[in-house]
Structure 1
């Protein structure tokens, strides 16, 4: 499969390429174990694996047009050690060594370290990369929301090439992480979580009928879902192909159920109702996952850097063509050829 993917990637000039990487979770601490004590986490080495990925991208014949960082850029342990800002600066310094845009997704570990106001004013807010042309040429409010108001959500879209659009969505819009304790969204999220999860430890899925209702997950507000619906309608009408991106997976066949977004069914229903959508990219589940759903959407959950042994890596370059995307995985990330469904071809 690996050789076939390389042959596919090199056979024709792609429209563009982009890099993807997930769950770096850097911290300057000794190696430890995950929450369930089943996997090792290599906190310091994650920075070296990021460095390695950037070196590989820079050496590629066709350097990526941009990179998508799928969330959890530093680990929550930084908050306990009061090293959040220092660790973030270290990671961003490495990212700065490749002169292509990085699009940052916000995951649970961003909110373990920072609140939304901090993130809004940080380099992790990449809404400045949004497609302004679409805003200027349309009516009906499909532009992204402002982010100064802590009640708002972090989401935007951009078009790196004609007839292709990427949409970053906020899987912690409905969540008790990162929200002010007195705001409406925090109170409503806590009420929903306690209704669905009666456990004393809200991070425990023990006995739950819907295992995704744990504190380290979140969901999408109807305000955000309506915004997503409008953007996808625009892309349908303009015969674009769309890649949606979020920290949390939204298809149960592409992840462990405990890693799904709270209201993943609502998001999935919207994605599947639009012919423009060809792929959904996520992180969060460090083991990774993949499925091609019955609507022809490829769901890719990228393996996490943090649980990747020092002698491996976990990142990918995606080559984009008119009829397919070729994902060239490195290390623990599987390579695959992802054809678009026929009704989405430009």
Structure 2
């Protein structure tokens, strides 16, 4: 074990707290009201470590605009830099709030990137083409319907109203960022609320297009997601696809992780229901 390289940096991961003052959904084993205490527990653990940042991979709330008023102050107790992604449940709010969700959680932009020690983190807004994030009458809703119909006709497992896709504009931005990172000699970690691999009913509506793009780039080491609360894991073309388990699930067990980024591997230390993994980096 002594030959393993020390971490370059570490970061915390939370997926799908989905807080709301709602009764449990026993059919799905989800307890949204209990997520405040679970998040407090996770942040207390994060605060015991030297972390570069903590990312929440979407579904901060489970609907109701007022839910943000209860959950966001808990994040204020985090002593580390924090990053949010948005998920489908974050848009389960009154129509007049749909265009203000990103600003409410302090995000200047719904998709963005940042660098750490030779790594480029690309945070996507997977909700752009959907039946829930754009306002009523927005052409992106019709685009989502057409995409879902095409997937349905092709027998795909994921043409569901709770899934979504990125716009052509954001896709082009992602492609440019991947090239930019390659030119800078950076490894890339892509983060999105929606998984794209392995095939699953919760995958993004544009998962095939996204997979094809990432396959062109051997410097993309990982794709991190939430949304599928059961979690999932796969490897394709040298990229690890890690779908973290939902914090909102179960009455009393938590789920979060700390990722140590090393020269030769990613060490994922899972807490509660989250699995621990050691992911060797190809060519390291």
Per the shorter chain, which TM-score range? over 0.9
Q: How does 1:197-216 map to 2 (within 5 A)?
A: 197=152, 209-216=155-162
- Assess if the C-alpha contact under 8 Å between 1:197 and 1:214 holds in 2: no
The Cα RMSD (Å) is: 2.1
Say whether 1:275 aligns with 2:275: no
- Structure 2 residue ranges without an equivalent (≥5): none
1:23 aligned to 1, 10, 16, which one? Answer: 16
Q: Tell me the secondary structure at the aligned position of residue 262 of structure 1.
A: coil
Q: Tell me the secondary structure at the aligned position of residue 41 of structure 1.
A: coil
Q: How does 1:227-242 map to 2 (within 5 A)?
A: 227-242=173-188
2:112 aligned to 156, 159, 164, which one? Answer: 156
Deviations 1:318-346 (A, max 9, x none): 0111111110000111101111111xx4x
Deviations 1:235-272 (A, max 9, x none): 1122111000000001125xxx1100111010011111
How far apart are the structure 2 equivalents of 1:26 and 1:265? 31
Say whether 1:251 aligns with 2:231: no
1:321 aligned to 253, 262, 272, which one? Answer: 262
The Cα shift of 1:124 comes to: 4.4
1:298 aligned to 234, 240, 243, which one? Answer: 240
How far apart are the structure 1 equivalents of 2:259 and 2:150? 40
1:49 aligned to 38, 45, 53, which one? Answer: 38
Q: Tell me the secondary structure at the aligned position of residue 44 of structure 1.
A: helix
Say whether 1:182 aligns with 2:171: no
Match of 2:83 in 1: 103
Name whichever structure is richer in helix by fraction: 1
Q: Tell me the secondary structure at the aligned position of residue 236 of structure 1.
A: helix
How far apart are the structure 1 equivalents of 2:120 and 2:145? 34
The Cα shift of 1:194 comes to: 4.5
Match of 1:167 in 2: 122
- Assess if the C-alpha contact under 8 Å between 2:224 and 2:243 holds in 1: yes
- Assess if the C-alpha contact under 8 Å between 2:86 and 2:193 holds in 1: yes
Match of 1:192 in 2: 147
Q: Name the CA shift for 1:95/1:20 in 2 (closer, same or farther; >3 Å).
A: same
Structure number with greater Rg is: 1
- Structure 1 residue ranges without an equivalent (≥5): 1-6, 79-83, 128-153, 199-207
How far apart are the structure 2 equivalents of 1:43 and 1:119? 19
Deviations 1:161-194 (A, max 9, x none): 2x11100112112112121222222232233334
The Cα shift of 1:160 comes to: 2.2
4+ aligned runs moved over 6 Å, structure 1: none
